[in-house]
């Protein structure tokens, strides 16, 4: 995993955690403490390899959910 990819992943996690209270929920979903998640986001720590896979899967899941939410509903003419 390259440095740029790590930065992008952490930026995306930060975006998802931005709404008040989301960081606690995201940390729980990833199986880490809020402090660990905060350390990843602010760059003071780097996730262990096993956590990279959890983060990657979490971000994929978020992307799929966002795409479904923005997909227009089918309307009968």
Summarised one tens digit per residue, pLDDT across range 38-69 is 999 999 999 999 999 999 999 999 988 888 88
pTM of the predicted protein model: 0.80
Q: Which long-range contacts (CB under 8 A, 24 or more apart) does 35-38 make?
A: 37/13
For the chain, what are the domain ranges? Answer: 3-57
Read off the pLDDT band of 2 (50, 70, 90). Answer: confident
Contact 36, 13 (CB under 8 A): no
Task: Determine the topology of domain 3-57 in CATH.
Answer: 434 Repressor (Amino-terminal Domain) (1.10.260)
């Amino acid at each position: 995993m390259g440095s740029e990819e790590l930065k992008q992943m952490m930026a995306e996690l930060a975006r998802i955690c931005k709404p008040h209270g989301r960081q606690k929920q995201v940390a729980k979903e990833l199986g880490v403490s809020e402090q660990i998640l905060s350390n990843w986001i602010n760059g003071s720590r780097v996730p262990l390899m096993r956590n990279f896979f959890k983060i990657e899967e979490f971000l994929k899941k978020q992307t799929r959910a966002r795409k479904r939410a923005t997909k227009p509903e089918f309307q009968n003419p």
